Structure 1
Amino acid sequence: MNQTVHSRRRPPAGARRTGKETTRTNDPERTMADILDVALKEFAEKGLDGARIDEIAAATQASKRMIYYYFGSKEGLYLAVLEASYRAMRETEAELQLDGLPPAQALRRLVEFTFDHHLRSEPYVRVVMAENMQRGHYMAQSQSIQQLNVPVIATIEKLYARGVAAGVFRPGVDPVDLHATISALTFFNVANRHTFGLIFKRDYADPAVAVARRASIVETVLRFVQA
């Protein structure tokens, strides 16, 4: 757990390798993206300790040497997966164009997006759960994750301020707390779907159940902030 996480490296211009690696280095960004995609699933299923670079290499048709070249270590790859997962969510979130919507409608869209993202991204949820099991040890070493999450708070702060000014949201709600409430409700829906579903005999992967749960969460959040 105390191993050093190495930074990702890019191959030097004109770098050439032999065998199956030669053609893949022609498009290093695509190769790295493929590795990250497979690694996300591997870490989600087995956690950091149980994941195997051999399995990731076999699934991507890349060699272990290539993976270590790009990411330095298994821990470096794990951290890169965390960063890529947060980056993908925040980049999509930035495309919602909430500024052009009335405050309540904008908040509704944000909650719906967060719910939908988590619902279709169980590997992301599981990796975040795994990092919490690590007590945030590897995330603390990231130079980008904290900055990646700054825009969502700024978005919520601006959206909420517009709602207060319009008289539709009550004053006194902390933007970080509002973000935590949205995250908690939508994250739980995936993180606890198996245990909660077994206990209460409800299939949270069922589309009808998901639609009803989505509507309930949206209403909960809107009622929480309404004036």
Structure 2
Amino acid sequence: MVKKTLKIPLHVGIIMDGNGRWAKKRLLPRVMGHREGVKTVKRIVEHAANMGIKYLSLFAFSTENWFRPEEEVSTLMGLLDEYLDSEMRNIVEKGISLRVSGDISKLREATKTKLMDIIEASKNNRRMVLNLALNYGGRDELLKAASDLARDFASGKIAESELGLLFKNYLYNPDVPDIDLLIRTSGEIRISNFMLWRLAYSELYFTKVLWPDFSEKDFDEAIEDYNRRIRRFGKTDEQILNQ
């Protein structure tokens, strides 16, 4: 359990990595690793909400994941459906608001309907925002935002002086703040095209724990590590300490 005196980040992002390796270590099919990973999602979402985190972004399926074997992609889509079916009531009743970042047009129609139903049913919840990155790529998000911004500038909807100020409004879920802490499991040390705009000043935390094994205690350790960081945002240590 995190000490009450610790500062809780407003927005935590997680790259949930290691499901396949978890299964391989146990001589199990990859699908079993993904199923265990879904169980971890449920536990960590609840734990983060209880801790007081207001925004939790999970990298669930990237634009590059479509290049995986067709059977695995189908399994992942099926697990997403199962998660939405089993968690819709919990999400709504526990005060969590569901959001999606990414191009969901490529998802199954039934999946899109479930997502939109939960988003609508939970839109007024304020306990925590659960932001699922689905068919998401950071570069794609920036290119889409730049294209939409350029279109509105060309049509005269916005002035040249507003371009920098309004860029964020063209991202997915523009009201979601920058990520304070990014956690990546499985020992990989990279950000893999995740939330590039919102990671500009994030603290990065990498753990060798595979996602299915990632526990509430592991999450707490990431928060404790975050509290040992000095977030300067371009300032000196002296300026930060004198604030």
Tell whether the structures are fold-level matches, with TM greater than 0.5.
no
Which structure carries more strand by proportion?
Answer: 2
Larger Rg: 1 or 2?
A: 1
TM-score normalised to structure 2 length: 0.30
Greater share of residues in helix: 1
- Normalization by structure 1: what TM-score? 0.31
